[in-house]
Every structure is written in C-alpha cells, then in structure tokens.
Chain A
Amino acid sequence: MRDFCELYWRLDSTTKTTEKVLALEAYFHQAAPKDSIWAVYFLTGSRIKRLVKTGLLRQWATEEAGLSQWLFEECYDRVGDLAETISLVLPPKQSSLAEGEPSLQSLIENQLMPLREMEEEGLRQSVVKLWQQFDQRERFVLGKLMMGGFRVGVSKRLVIRALAKHTGIDAATITHRLMGHWEPTAEFYEELVDPDENETAISKPYPFFLANPLKDEPASLGEVSDWVAEWKWDGIRAQVIRREGQTFIWSRGEDLVTDQFPEVESAASELPDGTVLDGEILGWDETEGRPLAFNQLQRRLGRKKLGKKLLTEVPVVLLAFDLIEHAGEDIRELPLADRQTRLHEVLEGLPSAAIQEPPKVLTESNRDWNSLATVRESSKAMRAEGLMLKRADSKYQVGRPVGDWWKWKVDPYTIDAVLIYAQRGHGRRANLYSDYTFAVWKEEGLVPFAKAYSGLTDAEMRKVDKFVRKNTNEKFGPVRSVTPELVFELAFENIQRSTRHKSGVAVRFPRISRWRHDKKPADADRLETIVAMLEED
C-alpha cells in the first residue's frame, strides 16, 4: 500500500506524460504481480462497486473528527474533494494500531472487499480502524480506492504504454490482453506480461480499429479504386465472438452486451467456432431495408429486461463489415479485401437475418470521387452519417492510426464529449443540474471544451441531475465537478480557434444531440479530432 501511495503522489505531482510513464514503470518493476494487477485495475478506471455508501463515510468521519455537520461542510467547501476532506479532518494516525504494512492486494482483498458483507455496526468499526492505521496521504488514496475517481491524469493508454516499456511486449498485445473482462489476480498479471503467452481467453475481443475524420478532399487519398466505400452507420459498434460454442457481444466501451441483443446472439449461434465479426448493431426497418432512427435503438439500451413489445417494435441486426478471426485464426494482418471475401463466405450460409452484410454503396459510383460525393449526399435517406473510406489492402490495426480508415461524414460538426461539470439551470430548471460543461481528451487528461444547456428531454435531464448529485467530486461555488462517466454527442454550428479557451478552440451554438449510453469516457473524442475539423475550413 505504501508503494502504491507513493506511486499515486508521484503521478499526481507531475503533468508530464514521460514522468508519469517512468513512475508507473518503476512501480511495476518493484511491485509483486498481485499488487501490480490491482494498480492496473484502478488506474485503468475500474472501481470496486458498492463498497460503503459515501454518505456513511462522510457521517462517520464527521463524528470521528468531533465536528458538527456544518463545520464538516465548511471544510468540504474549502477542499472540494470528499475523500481528501475526510482524510484531513480525521484524528492523526495511531501507529500503535497499524498491524504492519499491508500490501495493496491484501488491503483490497482482506480489508476492503469484506466490507461489502458487513452490517452497519461492524462496518463502521472496520472503516474507523482502517482510517486509524494510515496517515493523511495514505487515507486520501484509501478514500479513492473506496469511492473511485482517481483522476490522477493517467489513462488506460498510458498504463499500457508503461506496461509495454516495462515488459518489452508491444502495446497492441498488451491492449488486446486487457480487453474485455478480467479478474485482478496475480495469475492474470503473469499472463499479461508473459512474452510467450498466446492463449486467448474465449470471451476476449480484439482492440477496435477506429477511423479518423477526413479533413482533406477525398481526391487527396489517391486512386478511388484503392478504396472501399461503406456507409457510416449510426448505431453501436460491436464485436461478435463465437468460440467453443459460446457467443459474446462486446461494445466498443468493452461492455459485454450479449444479453441486450438476443436476436444477434441467437443468429451468432449458427456461426462456426473461432469467428469474430466486427460491425454495427442497429435497430432495423426490414421493409425499408435501412436502420430505424437512433432514438428507437436507444429504447433498447441499458434495460434489465426486454419486453416482447419492444423486441417487435425495435428489432436489431448486426451489420457485419469485417471479419477479424476466422477458423480460430487471428486474420488481422490480411488485407481488408481478403477479410471481406471470407466475411461474405461466413455470412452467406447464415439462416438468420439478424447478422447480415451491410447494404452496399453502389459499385459503379466507386469509379470516381465525384460520384462518390453524390452518393454521400444521400446518406440521410439511408439513415447513415456519411461514408467510410477504407483502404482495400488495409490491415486491421489497433486504435486510431491515421491513413487507412477515414470517416467522411455529411455533418462533420458532431463529437462525443464527457460531462465534467454541472450547474443548476434557471427558471423552470432552477432546481435541476441542467447546465453542463463537456470535455474531450487531450493527451492523458480531459479538457473542458464546450458548454451546453439544451438538447435533452426532461426525463433525461432528471436522470443526469440524479447522476450529478450522486457523483459530485468537487464543488466550486454553484458548480459541481462530477466523475467523468457520461458521454454525450454534441453538435455545433461552427468552430474557431480561441486563446481564451483552455482547449484552444471555441464552438458556436453547441447543443446535445444525444446521450451516448453505449459509450464510455475513453471513447469520447480527442482534441486533435476537433482541431482537425478546424483545419478543414
């Protein structure tokens, strides 16, 4: 625990990426695998859910410190961070109570996890005992372990970079091994850093290959015949895995969403073992041969139970546009054209239409860029956002490398951003947190990028309000900073450079076009993407 605290404060004291990577490397170098894996777990954004209610921690700390409620509130107002406030007001560490120095793993597994099973009285005693064992800075980190929200300027990418440097294994492999669900055990860590490890857990997806927005004229891409044009769908990017008689559906946010799409799951049961498809899940209008509006699909997301009515009204399909594992073999190194030929063979014999190849962009229009531009104009009628341009010989790569896959959207001014601050509204919305500030990624951190007040329904606004109240990290006067968790798509009219904004850009008339329940903060756009839009003008 002491080493992990030290790592935390080292990461916290610098904004330089290289120093953060060095600190992480040094930690992985000296820490035991059983501790390293928990560090990876927390620093890549996972948290232990439902440990102890925040309200209880707050109440107990106030009482242990001998403070009145109002005085605790004054302290919280000044500090702005709950875990930190608690760590500061509590009486000093009682060294006599410290039972040696627990490792990170032992602290989590032997002292924190059991809290979930405790009744309130025993729970309080255990929590107080924990507090007494640690000094202020350790308590702060302990508080973050318990409440989440590390926010120490470390992204998953950075952790992967440090692991790659530490082990000499390439970052793509580490990324792949960290995909999907895994348990933070020493065994898993050993597999993660094993230079020879080849076994794939049967549920494990591949890292997604993502496209960049096209900022230049398409003609700059060269010969049109070198490119494959596809519709850019407005649904949920997903990988469907069929291995050893089991099906797994992963969203881009690395959520296992198999249960949410029973149609696709049952269609996938007809796939041969050792198949991984990449595609887009969409609500589907069979008669029109095109997707339903996105808000229809949204009705199906995040539900515990799917009623018959909903399943009939909003049937979904997977439009599979890529094949990345075939006959148990990783075929990401094959050219796209070859992968799509095999994809066609795999899907041809499939009895269910819930997994199908996407409607084609007309082949004759592929002869020159101008006719392709005309086709792109008809995207709205296809309920698509524009076109995807993929190099026919492109490998299936990791992340968002520039050059081979482009999105050529009709309305380029939309981006996905993370809610980071909320403020109460005015008039009718005075009691709701309805004024939001959104951020996008810059290096390893989120930078505020736009404010938006409108675009959500009242029901959605109430949901966000509830989220804000439950997930406040800091208060600055009327503004609350919240755990960066919710992702929204913002649309705006125009974009300009600005020296007054931290992000360096200012957007005109930003509004929320929709709540992306299907995305995680890590999926939000990067500032570079927005700057690229700027250069387009």
Chain B
Amino acid sequence: MAPSNDLLTMTPKGLFCEQGNFYVDPWRAVDHAVITHAHADHARWGSKKYLAADTSAEVLRIRMGEKADLRFQPLGQSQTINGVRVTFYPAGHILGSAQVKIEKAGYSIVVSGDYKRNSDPTCQPFEPVRCNTFITESTFGLPIYRWPDPQTVFDGINQWWKSNQGSGKTSILLAYSLGKAQRLLSGIDASIGPIYTHGAVEKLNAGYREAGVALPETTFVGEVDPKEIDWSQSLVVAPPSAVGGPWAKKFGKLSVAMASGWMQIRGTRRRRSMDAGFILSDHVDWADLMQTIHETEAENIWVTHGYSDVVVRYLREQGFNAKVVETEFTGEQLEGDTEPAS
C-alpha cells in the first residue's frame, strides 16, 4: 500500500497532497488550497487560489472577501488535479461544509473537516464516505458528550424566551455568527416575538438567504433606535464576544443564554455565568463519531483537533489503526472566534 504513505502528509503549513500539489485547509498561505468549510480555522486568508464545494459559495465569499480567488465544484462531482481525483461530500456542519475525498490509484483518503449527524435544515446532511483513511475531528470526543434531540433543545429555547418576556428581560442568545446562529434562527419559534441580530450575525444571514436557506425575519440591531424598542419582548442573537462589553448595555435587564456543545458540562455553564445553557452542537458527539468511523470502513483513522489522544487510545483498543495528527484547527471554540477551545 505505498500510496497511503505519501498521498497526504502533514507539513508545517498543513495537510499537503504532493502529487496533486494542493493543501487541505492549510493554516499558512499556499498556492492551492482546498477548503472544507468557511470557519476561520479552516478557511484562512492569503492563499493564491481556493477550491471549495459550490454550496459554500455565498458564505465563503463573505468570509474571504471580494479579492480572494475562489473556485467552486458541485458536491459529488469529481475533478482530477495533477492526476489526483478530488470530490466533495456534504459534512452537515454548516452551510456548504464538505468532506474532501482524495483518490489516486485505488487508494482514498477522506478529510472530514468539521461534521455532525444531527438534523439541521440549514445545510445538506452528512454522507458517510467509504475510504481507506479517514481523517476525523474530535472536538467532542469524550463519552460525556451525548447530544439531546435538537427539537427538545429548541423547545427549551422557546420556553426560555417566553419566560423572559414574562419577567421583562431581554433574551440574549449567544452563538457563533456563522452556522450556529442561522441554525438557531431556523429552529426557534419566530412567532414568539421580534428577532434582532448583531452585525456579525446579520452579515452571514444574508449569505444564507442568498443560498436559499429559509430564515425568519431578523433586524440588525444597528439599524434601529434602541430607545424606541421594547427589548424585553425580543430575542437578540449575537456572537459570544458581544456580551460583557458596552454593546449589550442598551438592552436593559438581560437573560443571557448560550447554545453550544460545551453547555453539556455544568462547570462550563457556571464559569461563563450564563442564565441558561442550551446543548446544541455542530460537531458529532461521542456516539456519532464512533458510528461514522465504522461507516467509513476505513482501515486507518487519523484524529485531529479535540480529544485526539483519548479517541486514538480508544480506537486502538477497538482494533483500529489510529493515530493523532496535530493540526492547528481549533474546533468549536468556547471563548469566541480567536481563542482556542479549553
């Protein structure tokens, strides 16, 4: 199995396919970058040319700016780059997120990027792809992570919003501006009250709408006179970095909640001093991670960002040929867009 050793290798700039002369989600500027999805730790500025799934076109454009040289390829279709076949498959993580399959001479590697298996109407569902080597994330790779049914989570959010209305508090829901925010907007009951958004969220809402994803009506907070709004009836969706600063002052009495996989742990909720924490993640939980690994039927499992050591040790006990691949991906972050998960 000679090709397996050199089809994709880890270099200081990221995962490199020498035969195809391209990188996958590189963290330094390169000539040719293949991108799994538009999150900042996977799609970085500065490379000369980018290739991504066409479903990510709208959001990737917003994230990378007008000047970036972006090319798109439909999901499920292949192109051959310097003799290496490259195909995108949906990853179910956020709008446009894709797994990248790289094949040559009958050997295949799938880079998962970030992915989840739970239902999410804002993006194409994950498809398991058979391969020889599966490179998986492990953001929530511990058995303590088990996601509740998303509908029960949304019921909880709706209830929280209504009870805040009753006690005259503005509902501030914190979520990542790309992906989680739109998933929340599409899942909540918009008939409860008006919905406002932070600028970072509203910018990406536009991309989602352009891509044909149905979202309820939202108003950018910056567009209205704060004194004229009865904030206590509204829901404000904002990135985690927004609270604590002066931005949140105008809303009066608040109830602050966060939607994230990290909210599964009581200590995390308490340290962030949230009024409520909702367990909603765009990554796989432990059971889905294991099921996916089985479904790929891969003989080699490379594990990246998250609990890679734990997952590798566990997989080896189960008889897999598994190893840790050190990357600079950060997974779903706790503190905002720039700090690593802890």
C-beta contact mask, B267-286 vs A, less than 8 Å → 1, else 0? Answer: 10110011110000000000
B144 at the interface (CB under 8 A from A): yes
Report the stretch among A75-83, A332-340, A457-465, A519-527 that lies at the interface. A75-83
The residue that A75 contacts in the complex, of B144, B275, B276, with Cβ under 8 A, is B144
For B198, list chain A residues within 8 Å (CB): none
C-beta contact mask, B301-342 vs A, less than 8 Å → 1, else 0? Answer: 000000100100110010000000000000000000000000
**Cross-chain contact B265 with A84 (CB below 8 angstroms):** yes
B142 at the interface (CB under 8 A from A): yes
**Cross-chain contact B142 with A12 (CB below 8 angstroms):** no
The residue that A78 contacts in the complex, of B144, B270, B275, with Cβ under 8 A, is B144
| Nearest A residue to B264, CB-CB | A88
Cα–Cα distance between A14 and B145 once the two chains are bound (Å): 24
C-beta contact mask, A42-57 vs B, less than 8 Å → 1, else 0? Answer: 0000000000000000
Report the stretch among A65-73, A105-113, A122-130, A283-291 that lies at the interface. A65-73
The residue that B314 contacts in the complex, of A15, A71, A79, A136, with Cβ under 8 A, is A71
B67 at the interface (CB under 8 A from A): no
Which residues of A from 71 to 101 have beta carbons under 8 Å from B?
71, 74-75, 78-81, 84-85, 88-89, 92
B227 at the interface (CB under 8 A from A): no
Cα–Cα distance between A532 and B268 once the two chains are bound (Å): 34
Given contacts A13-B276, A89-B143, A92-B146, contact A74 B267 (CB under 8 A): no
The residue that B265 contacts in the complex, of A12, A15, A78, with Cβ under 8 A, is A78
Cα–Cα distance between A70 and B266 once the two chains are bound (Å): 22
A501 → B minimal CB distance (Å) = 18
**Cross-chain contact B142 with A75 (CB below 8 angstroms):** yes
For B314, list chain A residues within 8 Å (CB): 68, 71
Cα–Cα distance between A68 and B142 once the two chains are bound (Å): 12
| Nearest B residue to A75, CB-CB | B144
**Cross-chain contact A71 with B310 (CB below 8 angstroms):** yes
| Nearest B residue to A15, CB-CB | B273
For A92, list chain B residues within 8 Å (CB): 146
**Cross-chain contact B317 with A68 (CB below 8 angstroms):** yes
For B317, list chain A residues within 8 Å (CB): 68
Cα–Cα distance between A78 and B144 once the two chains are bound (Å): 9
**Cross-chain contact B266 with A71 (CB below 8 angstroms):** no
B101 → A minimal CB distance (Å) = 31
- In the complex, which range does the number of interface residues on chain B fall in? 20 to 34
For A85, list chain B residues within 8 Å (CB): 144
Cα–Cα distance between A197 and B142 once the two chains are bound (Å): 54
Given contacts A13-B276, A14-B275, A71-B310, contact A81 B142 (CB under 8 A): no
For A75, list chain B residues within 8 Å (CB): 142-144
Cα–Cα distance between A12 and B265 once the two chains are bound (Å): 13
**Cross-chain contact B266 with A84 (CB below 8 angstroms):** yes
A28 at the interface (CB under 8 A from B): no
C-beta contact mask, B252-274 vs A, less than 8 Å → 1, else 0? Answer: 00000000000011110110011
B157 → A minimal CB distance (Å) = 14
Which residues of B from 219 to 273 have beta carbons under 8 Å from A?
264-267, 269-270, 273
The residue that B267 contacts in the complex, of A67, A71, A79, A136, with Cβ under 8 A, is A79
Cα–Cα distance between A81 and B264 once the two chains are bound (Å): 13
A263 at the interface (CB under 8 A from B): no
For B264, list chain A residues within 8 Å (CB): 88
Cα–Cα distance between A476 and B147 once the two chains are bound (Å): 25
For A78, list chain B residues within 8 Å (CB): 142, 144, 265
A377 at the interface (CB under 8 A from B): no
| Nearest A residue to B277, CB-CB | A13
For B267, list chain A residues within 8 Å (CB): 79-81, 84, 474
A140 at the interface (CB under 8 A from B): yes
Most buried by B among A13, A15, A65, A79: A13
Cα–Cα distance between A79 and B264 once the two chains are bound (Å): 10
Given contacts A14-B275, A79-B265, contact A70 B144 (CB under 8 A): no
| Nearest B residue to A85, CB-CB | B144
**Cross-chain contact A13 with B275 (CB below 8 angstroms):** yes
Most buried by A among B144, B274, B317: B144
B148 → A minimal CB distance (Å) = 9
For A65, list chain B residues within 8 Å (CB): 143
C-beta contact mask, B118-148 vs A, less than 8 Å → 1, else 0? Answer: 0000000000000000000000001111100
C-beta contact mask, A456-479 vs B, less than 8 Å → 1, else 0? Answer: 000000000000000000100000
B242 → A minimal CB distance (Å) = 21
List 22 contacting pairs A-B, 8 Å CB cutoff, sorted by A. Answer: A12-B270, A13-B274, A13-B275, A15-B273, A67-B143, A68-B317, A71-B313, A74-B310, A75-B143, A78-B142, A78-B144, A80-B267, A81-B266, A81-B267, A84-B267, A88-B143, A88-B144, A88-B145, A88-B146, A89-B143, A89-B144, A136-B146
Which residues of A approach B to under 8 Å, CB–CB? 12-15, 65, 67-68, 70-71, 74-75, 78-81, 84-85, 88-89, 92, 136, 140, 474
5 tightest Cβ-Cβ pairs between the two chains A and B? A88-B144, A75-B144, A89-B143, A74-B310, A80-B267
